[in-house]
Amino acid sequence: MIGNARDSPIRLANGQLLCGAHGFVTCAKCCVDYTFVQELDGEYSSHMLKQRDTIPGNDDQSCELSDVSGLCSSGVDTSDESTIIDSSSEEAAASPSVAPTGILIAVDDDPKPRFPALPKRFFPPEPVVSPRVLFRPRLVFHKDHPGIQRFIGIHDTSQYLVYAGGACLENGKGKLKAGWSFVFKPPAPDRPTSGRVSSRLEATGPTGKARRPSSHRAELRAVIAALSYLHEDGDLFKSIVVATDSTYVVHSATRLLQTWMSNGWINLTGRPVQNKDLWQTLLQIVDGWAKKGREVYLWRIPRKWNRDADECARAAVTSIPVPVDFEDLSNGNW
């Protein structure tokens, strides 16, 4: 078994994850559910052998991330008019097999439906390298845009990075509380909270239905919030990398999501996909980026490299009232 911290999962020899504190696959006290890992086994694993990751990863990397000014980032438009300046179940009821239905989207002025764009997995050029090395704080000037600061790629200035994190806490009375956060630029000297956006997880999902908080929903909500908030940045960059310490989000989005859609949102165990409402929202947002010719990448990083986003998410849990309605951050006002 691998794992040395109470808040880190334990990995068994067969690849199954357990909560570090209690050793359960699903643990209400830790707000975790690692049943999704089972979907990477069996028939799906044999299928994925043909598409196995070609670049090895190493989550047990040693690098301290203290403040956002040293975090990694990526992305800027490289057109002649751009200048860069360095600046330092669901209800888990058994369901019969369902014929593939998928989720189809009608493209503007094109009556022929298609599958929505999907997020891709980001692989660093070297197996052991932190975001702060690959993405540096820089100012970007483009056409009528004033100078904006983002974490921009040192090898590809048309790519930039945002950190996303979620947290779910138990209040000692069996009631769960969750929060999310993302960090998209270093804080200003006179505004230590600038570049950070956070909130409590809403009481309802995007469909208006009440939802129980969980760490998985908080982690996925953080990615959705970041991509919605930064949507207008798609005019400046060709791709965005969302760095998260959530294995659930990265593995599900890049390995399982397409299969879920093809199976009518039934997972490989024959049950409804959990958090379907958030996954469908993520697909809509990623597809919006794709319509601008922009790509969305997800990067699984160790929690110690995502410290700022995680701390902001935890702070939101205890300091912000629970919003009732699902918030739309696409207008950039927060």
* CATH code assigned at 168: 3.30.420.10
Is there a domain that residue 46 lies in? no
Q: What is the pLDDT of residues 118-127, one digit of tens each?
A: 999 999 998 8
- The first and second tokens of residue 258, run together, are 């397409």
The dihedral over CA atoms of 145, 146, 147, 149, expressed in degrees to the nearest 10, equals -70
More confident residue, 146 or 95: 146
The answer as to whether 1 is a domain residue is: no
Q: Cβ(156)–Cβ(297) under 8 Å?
A: no
Report the number of distinct structural domains present in the chain.
1
- 283 assigned to some structural domain: yes
Q: Which domain holds residue 118?
A: 65-319
Percent of the chain that is helix, strand, coil (3-state, to 5): 30, 25, 50
- Would residue 13 count as lying in a domain? no
What would the pLDDT profile of 182-227 be if each residue is shown by its tens digit?
999 999 888 888 999 999 999 999 999 999 999 999 999 999 999 9
If you average pLDDT over residues 123-138, what whole number do you get?
A: 94
**Do the domain assignments include residue 4?**
no
The structure tokens listed for 220 are 């996925």
What's the pLDDT tens digit per position in 29-70? 666 676 666 555 443 444 443 443 333 343 333 333 233 333
H/E element holding 260? helix 257-262
pLDDT for residue 277 is more than 90? yes
3-7, 92-96, 210-214: which has the minimum mean pLDDT? 92-96
Reply yes or no on whether the pLDDT at 300 is more than 90.
Answer: yes
pLDDT given at position 11: 72
Q: Which two tokens stand for residue 320?
A: 């912000």
Q: Cα separation of 126 and 307, whole Å?
A: 22
Relative orientation angle of helices 276-291 and 215-229, to the nearest 10 degrees: 20
- Residue 200 inside a domain? The answer is yes
Q: Tokens 């629970």 label which residue? A: 322
- Identify whether 189 is part of a domain: yes
Lowest mean pLDDT among 110-114, 123-127, 171-175, 275-279: 110-114
Distances (CA, A) of 126 to 175, 230, 231: 42, 27, 28
- In this predicted model, what pLDDT tens digit does every residue of 252-265 receive, in sequence order? 999 999 999 999 99
23 located within any domain = no
Q: What percent of the chain has pLDDT over 90?
A: 52
| Average pLDDT value for residue range 106-115 | 48
